[in-house]
Amino acid sequence: MTGLDSRALRTAFGTFMTGVTVVTALDAEGDPLGFTANSFTSVSLDPPLVLVCLAKSSRNHDGFVAAGGFAVSVLAETQRDISNTFARPSDDRFADVDWHLGPHGSPIVHGCSAWFDCALHKAIEAGDHTILIGRVLAFDSTSSPGLGYARGAYVVPDRAMNLMGHHLDLVVSALIARNGEVLLKSDEHGGMALPETVVGPDESVSAALARLVDSTGSNAQPGFIYSVFEDAARKRQHLCFLCQTTDGDGIAGTFVPLERSALDDVSDPAILTLLERYVSEAQLGTFGIYYGNQTSGDVRAIV
């Protein structure tokens, strides 16, 4: 012991916003096991590894350690009831939850924001928890915003901004890519910009994104969040979603090639930096999520 107050330490950990996941597996009899976790993170891209932490006191502990694999379902913002179900003791947590088996045999929660089906790579004892490292064998994601947890409460993107003490407009933009090109529109400064919209006071992020994509006249399919940044000077919190389309005619805007020279007319320096990163990542075929402000931040690799 180092004299740390465990209750204070738990409170300190709780001030950070984390994603909410349900971790699942099948026991030796083929029955589903599951628990809620917000200690999910990527470990490696080559090979693709992720980890979750499971308390040794959990009655599911031995079943997970003995299982040959597990799945992680990243819950959508509408699934807080499912989080509560898997966080509390229950004889059958799966009774009222829609789920299906993933490609490699572990249960996946229907309608989640993203999921990862993993083989158990290694189980490591770490204090009062066991770290389960999984090798990702299959995964998928949707445009549904994820559910977060901070300071003892569930949060969604707009409420997360309020928790941080900001009163900012929440802006959603769409990076719509098509065959080596990206869609840009004219902005109020006479330059070019990504299609964007302000999320309404009673509107969800997913609804605003759908409205924005419809306004471009494309059939773009929303993908994952590509960039999250705060622009304090303009009092904005910006969420950029990467989208794909195959449409050609009838789209509001101009498709420009993914070349740095084609981006000279982009007037917002933050969006220009975002697009320059996308040019580089598209060439490599590996993408990350930017988190920071309009001038500096970190790019976090996507598994």
User: 5-19, 145-159, 283-297: lowest mean pLDDT where?
Assistant: 5-19
Strand partners, 150: 153
pLDDT band of 157, cuts 50, 70, 90: low
**Both structure tokens of 226:** 């590509």
Strand partners, 100: 108
Q: How many CB atoms lie within 10 A of CB 188?
A: 7
> Which residues, 6 or more positions from 44, have their beta carbon under 8 angstroms from its beta carbon?
none
User: 45-59, 87-101, 170-184, 282-296: lowest mean pLDDT where?
Assistant: 282-296
Q: Set out the domains of the chain in order of their start, with CATH numbers.
A: 6-141 (2.30.110.10), 157-301 (3.90.79.10)
Query: Is pLDDT of 165 > 60?
Result: no
Strand partners, 236: 169, 231
Residue 112 or residue 247, greater confidence: 112
284-300 mean pLDDT: 78
48-98, pLDDT tens digit by residue? 888 998 989 888 899 999 999 999 998 888 888 898 888 887 778 898 899
Cα separation, 154 vs 90, in Å, equals 21
pLDDT band of 10, cuts 50, 70, 90: very low
| Among 54, 58, 64, 126, residue whose Cα is nearest residue 88 | 58
Cα separation, 73 vs 22, in Å, equals 5
pLDDT band of 302, cuts 50, 70, 90: low
Residue 298 or residue 48, greater confidence: 48
Query: Is pLDDT of 13 > 60?
Result: no
